[in-house]
Chain A
Amino acid sequence: MSDLDIQIPSALDPFAEANAEDSGAGSKEYVHIRVQQRNGRKSLTTVQGLKKEFSYNKILKDLKKEFCCNGTVVQDPELGQVIQLQGDQRKNVSSFLTQAGIVKKDHIKIHGF
């Protein structure tokens, strides 16, 4: 019985499931932060799913300044605008977005390894 608790790192509240964001098949709007490998040690961070009301270019400008990297806003036919940044900036972006109050922490999904 208690063995179970040890085996499981995060004890989940079974009743929290009903209103939790990560249950259900993609019901909540997440901001997805992904990383992609480029050639060599280079990589690329993408931020997808920011609310449309925000000015992407302004956010991008701040991000670029904050992390000292280049970046761009890409228009995707299906997913709308996506911010691209050079390098693996996932942690940076996530903390920036939460601190600036743009996205709530539990609405951010960081992908990748």
Chain B
Amino acid sequence: MAEQTSSESKEDIPEITPFDPTKKKKKKKVVIQDIAEEDRLSEKIDNLTLADGVENAFVGMKKKKKKPVGSDLTNDGSPQTGQGGEEEEDPNNSRQKYPWEGTDRDYLYEELLSRVFHILRENNPELAGDRRRTVIRPPQVLREGTKKTVFVNFMDLCRTMHRQPDHVMTFLLAEMGTSGSLDGQQRLVVKGRFAPKNFEGILRRYINEYVICNGCRSPDTILSKENRLFFLRCEQCGSGRSVAPIKTGFVARVGRRKAGS
């Protein structure tokens, strides 16, 4: 099959090869093709079989010509073989999109893989695995009096993590070995003095333990309670795991003792 396609691509190339002179004309032609093929492509991606992949080789080729720069950007940072570098070196020479073009050799696995991801990124970016990075803003902390600390953007952070404020609060308080509550403005008031980086460290641990998926490290997860056990289910890869319940453990009595004991 590979040979067949490479011969086909050779047939195709003469039609598009002329470099500068007729470029404008060719471009127009390509655009028209694109519209037609874009639809086809997107439905192809859904059930990408080997045959589809081979056929798509040409679609991808023609598409790339239209917007080589855009595809380069999405490819940034991925250590894929040769191809990525080549593209960045000569974006003008867009005909050399694939390293195997014009040769008779077999495709390398990496080349095909990167091509599939190119196509995916262009048509179904959400499937390509590039996740927007969720940024957790640093906790804002105020001192209330001398003995209490107010965690101002607590609710905000709960929302970014998609977790119940109650759950986060229980964890924070258990880890800090203190008590606290939400005030009228939905801020978390904690007994004791704590620096922002203290909160940050604990939140980091919370995220590792109760937010991030162990399989794909995606923060897009759901925490649910089933028969008294907490389970973490990943929205990205569908994997699930149980998470440890939050235990306060031993809390020493501090402060004034009651007369009774």
Contacts and interface: CB of A to CB of B under 8 A. Distances in A.
Interface string B218-261: 00000000000110000000010111110101111011000000
A2 B77 contact: yes
Contacts, number: 101
Contacts of A1: 78, 117, 129-130
A96 to B, nearest CB: 19
Given A4-B131, A24-B242, A37-B193, A74 B252 contact: yes
Nearest to B113: A1
Interface string A67-83: 00000001010010010
A101 B39 CA distance: 66
Given A2-B79, A14-B215, A39 B175 contact: no
A33 B226 CA distance: 29
A84 B249 contact: no
| Secondary structure class of chain B's binding surface, majority of residues | loop
B78 A113 contact: no
Contacts of B147: 39
Contacts of B210: none
Contacts of A76: 250
A17 B133 contact: no
A26 B244 contact: yes
Contact of A36 (B129, B131, B177): B177
A7 B130 CA distance: 11
A23 B242 contact: yes
Contacts of B131: 3-4, 7
B176 A113 contact: yes
A36 B77 CA distance: 44
Interface of A: 1-4, 6-8, 11-12, 14, 17, 22-26, 32, 34-39, 44, 46, 48, 74, 76, 79, 82, 84, 111-113
Interface of B: 77-79, 117, 129-131, 133, 147, 174-178, 191-195, 197-199, 201-202, 209, 212, 214-217, 229-230, 239, 241-245, 247, 249-252, 254-255
